[in-house]
Amino acid sequence: MITTESATPKPLHREPPQRIASSDDAAVRLRAWREGDREPFADLNADPEVMRYFPATLSRAESDAMVDRIVDHHERYGYGLWALDVDGRFAGFVGLSTATFEAPFTPAVEIGWRLASWAWGRGAASTSARRVLDAAHTEFGIDEVLSFTSVLNAPSIAVMQRIGMTREPAGNFDHPRVPVESALREHVLYRWSA
Ligand SMILES: CC(C)(COP(=O)(O)OP(=O)(O)OC[C@H]1O[C@@H](n2cnc3c(N)ncnc32)[C@H](O)[C@@H]1OP(=O)(O)O)[C@@H](O)C(=O)NCCC(=O)NCCS
């Protein structure tokens, strides 16, 4: 008997709800991670331009371990960092994760994004991040979402502002996972409430 294979590669966890997956911009789509995302994800994690505001680029093994943690998070919580397609091509992630490092505001749900540089400058991060915030409360019962990044990461801070998050004026903190001597250690804190 001849069997036809599905054209869509197998997802590694449950697909996001439609209100997250669908976008005003049809070229921008959040979806479950697939095995084939590992290679382009490792490429962007190895790119010094993408990783400019992180302490270091990631090796292939470190990048794959991050995919494993992302998939585990989806299985445990039912939400997480979703893979982002731009024009049908894997471009990185946008989504939710649980911040567990030691800080006055943790544990907390964080919204985050990391895109390959070819996908910057067209609203792909903020368009999909708005979808994620919109669904956080209604789909997952999350009433508060935080975001934080190095005070130097102007492109990421601009996304937080574009999607309507509010800066905590006294919220700056030293990220415990960034080396003490690093200029990237001081972070801003933004908040969104349902
Ligand atoms: C942070 C990051 C996701 C921002 O990407 P981005 O493309 O600048 O963000 P947006 O999706 O909001 O797009 C905004 C840009 O698209 C333009 N744009 C075009 N169409 C747009 C639209 N429909 N809606 C919004 N912006 C649009 C905006 O003018 C803006 O361009 P500008 O920066 O030249 O002014 C990206 O720089 C990145 O992945 N960096 C590396 C990883 C990182 O630092 N992550 C955060 C760590 S906490």
Per-residue pLDDT at 189: 98
- CB of 121 shorter than 6 A to ligand 1: yes
Structural domain total, the chain: 1
pTM, to two decimals: 0.95
CATH of the domain at 170: 3.40.630.30
Q: Any idea how long the chain is?
A: 194
Give me 171's structure tokens: 């919220």
The answer to the question of residue 89 being in a domain is: yes
Asked whether residue 50 is assigned to any structural domain, the reply reads yes
Which one of 45, 122, 157 would you pick to mutate in the ligand 1 pocket, going by the greatest count of ligand atoms within 8 A of its CB? 122
In a domain, 13, yes or no: no
Structure confidence at residue 83 (pLDDT): 98
In a domain, 6, yes or no: no
**Ligand 1, pocket-test mutation among 30, 93, 115, most atoms within 8 A of CB:** 115
- Those residues whose C-beta lies under 8 Å from the C-beta of residue 45, and which sit 6 or more positions away, are 51, 57, 58, 62, 63, 66, 114
- pLDDT of 22: 84
Q: Which residues of the chain have pLDDT under 70?
A: 1-6
| DSSP states of 60-97 | HHHHHHHHHHHHHHHHHHS--EEEEEETTEEEEEEEEE
In a domain, 150, yes or no: yes
Give yes or no for residue 45 CB within 6 A of ligand 1. no
Token pair recorded at residue 101 = 């490092």
Q: Is residue 141 part of a domain?
A: yes
Kindly give the number of the ligand 1 atom that is closest to the alpha carbon of 50.
Answer: 41
Containing structural domain, residue 174: 18-193
Whether 155 is covered by a domain: the verdict is yes
What pLDDT shows up at residue 91? 98
Task: Please indicate, yes or no, if residue 148 is contained in any of the structural domains.
Answer: yes
